Amino acid sequence: MKITLLGTGGPRPDPKRMGPSTLVTVGSDNLIFDAGRGVATRLVQAGVSITDYGYVFITHLHFDHTGGLADLLFAAWNKARNKTIHVYGPKGTEAMVRHLFEAYERDIWYRLSETVLTHEKLVDIRNMVQVHDVGAGVVVEGTNFRVTAVDVDHGHGLGLSRDDWACLAYRVESKGSSVVISGDAVYSPSLIDIARDADALVMCCYLSGEEIKDHDTELITRYVLNSSLGAGKIAHEANVKLIALIHIREKPDRLLEAMKTEIGRDFDGNIVVGEDLLEIDLG
């Protein structure tokens, strides 16, 4: 199992970091978790053909985690992929993708009409992509892998209901190896449970301690986005071996180092401050 951090930034454009997206490779299967801006380009830069993935898992429906989804799907289709691509996500994912296809209805019509002259074997993308709204439990059982999900907290402490705002963390297991992708989740018992004893936890770490300066940023790091003051506690309680930090707000190198130091006060495992295209081989 290999992890490739395709995008390690957040909602604000960062010249060094694309939007949140993580590639998990299990044998010949490429699983993509979240589809932030630039995901299609980063996938190709990682050495994976744009047609060589069959699964996309969305943690939640914020634009920074889904802004590259149309590009990812349409680029694979444009290169004549005809095998099914499965997209899994929380409640609302099916509606979002359906609306994307409606927005690009003229483009779909044009490219399908063009095949009369070009004789390309282009299927209808609306049939090629199968979307599944999912919740907690087993999401998919592949030949060589298993993906499960739990509901997690990302703004719910501020009064948001899970019915209106569903957010998921995923765990991939294969042949004794495991990785958890937490999305933007803050601490919750469900996150600890799904991450327990994992080989790697890919997690949001938006701010360093020095950046938590006022009531607003305190609320953000308590209820919405992890900081380096909380990430280590989660990793320690879940007993993971390694954490890889993504969804990092643009900051100078000294604050990136400070994040690692702050996490190390609570967690004595491996700490990786994520960079785009960084690879982690779990064997």
- Between helix 93-103 and helix 69-78 the angle, nearest 10°, is 60
- Across the beta sheet with 177-181, the strand order is 137-141, 146-151, 168-174, 177-181, 200-204, 242-246, 270-273
Report which of 175, 148, 140, 141 is spatially closest to residue 282, judged by C-alpha positions.
Answer: 175
Q: Is 86 helix (H, G, I), strand (E, B) or coil?
A: strand
Tokens representing 1 are 């199992």
**Burial group, residue 252, by CB count within 10 angstroms (0-12, 13-18, 19+):** exposed
**Burial group, residue 159, by CB count within 10 angstroms (0-12, 13-18, 19+):** exposed
Give me the catalytic one of 14, 29, 52, 64.
64
Token look-up 């993308």 returns 125
State the number of CA atoms in the 13 A half-sphere of 237 facing the CB. 13
Question: Is 64 tagged catalytic?
Answer: yes
Token look-up 């990682």 returns 46
Residues linked to residue 104 through DSSP beta bridges, in sequence order: none
Looking only at Cα atoms, what is the longest distance across the chain?
A: 64
Catalytic residue list: 64
